[in-house]
Amino acid sequence: MKTNFIKTVGKIALILVPAITLSMNASAHDPKMHAKKAEKADCSKMDHSKMDMKDPVAVAMMKKCMKQSKSSMEKMDHSKMKEMDHSKMKEMDHSKMKEMDHSKMKEMDHSKMKGMDHSKMEKKKNKKANSDDHQNH
């Protein structure tokens, strides 16, 4: 009686074990395909020179990429940034600067200036040359 039971269980196991193993391996596709990730726009491949800015597709792509870069800038944590090492910075090449157009500058709003501490200012020796002497204020 007991041997018959063991034989039956053995037969069932002989059929079930390979069947289960085979069915687990029989996947029709890569399961990763089901995992839909929220992808960010890959704007690096955009060729602006070939874009027709009258085409709604091109305009939409530009809008998407601009919005994405703006939001990624806003997400930057400036507090965690290391202090900038100015000593490693190259000197500015003033020769390449365009001449400043002073005519386009706005007039200074003196009312918003904080009170200046005149005591810390160096006095110039030639008072005549300095027409804006604060002592005359």
Partner 1 sequence: MKALKILLILLLLGGASAATVMYSGIVNVAADEPHSDIVYWLLEETREASIKKSAQHIKVPDLESPELLLMGGADYEYMCSSCHLKPGLEESDMSIGLYPQPPNLSISHETHQHGTDEELARKNFWVIKHGIKASGMPAWGKTHSDERIWAMVAFIKRLPTLTPEQYQVLTAID
User: How many residues are listed for the chain in this entry?
Assistant: 137
CB closer to partner 1, 15 vs 33: 33
- At residue 1, the 3 state secondary structure works out as coil
User: Look-up: residue for tokens 């800015």?
Assistant: 53
* CB of residue 76 to partner 1, shortest distance in Å: 17
CB closer to partner 1, 63 vs 127: 63
Name 52's Cβ contacts closer than 8 Å, sequence gap at least 6.
58
User: Which residues sit at the interface with partner 1, rule CB under 8 A?
Assistant: 28-29, 33, 36, 38-43, 45-46, 56-57, 59-61, 63-65, 67-68, 71
* CB of residue 132 to partner 1, shortest distance in Å: 52
Name 64's Cβ contacts closer than 8 Å, sequence gap at least 6.
41, 43
Q: Which of 117, 119, 135 lies closest to 127, judged by CA?
A: 135
d(CA 85, CA 15): 72
d(CA 68, CA 41): 8
CB closer to partner 1, 47 vs 117: 47
* CB of residue 52 to partner 1, shortest distance in Å: 12
CB closer to partner 1, 67 vs 127: 67
* CB of residue 20 to partner 1, shortest distance in Å: 23
